[in-house]
Structure 1
Amino acid sequence: MSDNEPTADELSEAAKAVVRRNTEEVQGGGDFALFDELFADDFLDHTPQPGRTPDKAGARELYQVLREAFPDFHADIHWQAADSDLVTTYKTYHGTHKGEFLGIAPTGKRISFETVDAMRVRDGKITEHWGVANLFSLMQQLGALPDAT
C-alpha cells in the first residue's frame, strides 16, 4: 500500500459519510441533484421493492414515491457499521401519510418503520444495495392490514 492510499478505516468512514448524506439529504431532504451525484450510473439494487427496477432509475423512483406519499419523510439513524466499502445502517423512518402510497389514499397518519440496509460505496458513489424494511408494520399503520392482536 502506498502512503497516499486510504486505510480500511478511512475508507469505512468515507463510505459511512456518503450513506449518511443519502439518508439525511436525499431521502430526508428531497435533494435529487445530490441523489444523482451519490449514486453510480451502474448502481444495482439486489433487493428492489415490488414494481421497481433494480437500477439507479428504480431507486430514484422509489425515493420520489416515498417523498410524495410522506412529504416529511426522514430517518433516525440508530447505528452504522462499515467493513471498508460496505456500510450497514439500522434506522427508523418516520413520516405523515399525505399522498397515495401503494394504492392507499392519504390517511394523515404518522408512521414509522425500521430498516436495515447495506450499501457498497466506491469512489464516493453508492454502487450496490441490499435491504430489509418492516413494510408489514407500515401497512398495518396505514390500515391496509389488520393489527396483530
Structure 2
Amino acid sequence: MQDTDVSEVAKAVVRRNTEEVQGGGDYDLYDMLFSDDFVDHTPQPGRTPDKAGALELYKTLRAAFPDFHAVIHWQAADGNLVTTYKTYHGTHQGEFFGIAPTGKAIQFETVDAMRVVDGRITEHWGVANLFSLMEQLGAGLGVR
C-alpha cells in the first residue's frame, strides 16, 4: 500500500473515532477502533495510559456533556500518524472535575496525534485547552 493510501485510511479511522465514538457515544465502535495494546502518551490526570483509561475519559466527558461533539478543522497525516486540530462543543449537564452542572455551553480546542496500525488506533499524544474549559465553567483557578 502506498504511503498516501495508508494516510487516508488512518485519517478515516481517526475521523470515525472523533465523530462516532466521541460525538456519538458508540463504545462498541471504540472497542473495534482501538488496539488492545493502545498507549496514551499524554493521559489526563487520574487516568491510566491504556485503552481502559481512554474509554473512561470518553465516558466521563459524555456524562458531563451529553451533547459532546467536535468540529474537525483539519487533519494531516505522515504515513500512519494523524494529527487533528478540532474544537469540542457541549453543554455542561453533569459533574465534571468536581464542578456541578452549570447548563453552560462550552467549547475548547484540541490538537492530537494518533497512530493507526492495521485499522486500529495504537498510540495517542494530545494537548487540550482545558484551562479555557474550566474558565468557561466558572472554576476559580486564581490565575491573574
Band of TM-score, shorter chain: over 0.9
**Unaligned segments of structure 1, at least 5 residues:** 1-5
- Percent sequence identity is 78
Task: Verify: 1:30 aligned to 2:25, yes or no.
Answer: yes
Q: Which residue does the alignment assign to 2:10?
A: 15
114, 118, 121: which one aligns with 1:123: 118
Q: Which residue does the alignment assign to 2:39?
A: 44
**Unaligned segments of structure 2, at least 5 residues:** none
Shift of 1:112: 0.0
Q: 1:89·1:117 contact (CA, 8 Å) conserved in 2?
A: yes
Q: 1:52·1:59 contact (CA, 8 Å) conserved in 2?
A: yes
Q: Which residue does the alignment assign to 1:144?
A: 139
Q: Which residue does the alignment assign to 1:73?
A: 68
Q: Which residue does the alignment assign to 1:88?
A: 83
Larger Rg, first or second structure (1 or 2): 1
Secondary structure of 1:105's partner? Answer: coil
* Separation in 1, partners of 2:133, 2:112: 17
* Separation in 1, partners of 2:89, 2:142: 19
Shift of 1:109: 0.2
* Separation in 2, partners of 1:145, 1:128: 33
Q: Which residue does the alignment assign to 1:104?
A: 99
* Separation in 2, partners of 1:26, 1:134: 20
* Separation in 1, partners of 2:117, 2:92: 34
TM-score normalised by structure 1 residue count: 0.94
Q: 1:69·1:98 contact (CA, 8 Å) conserved in 2?
A: yes
Question: How many equivalent residue pairs?
Answer: 144
**Amino acid in the other structure paired with 2:66:** P
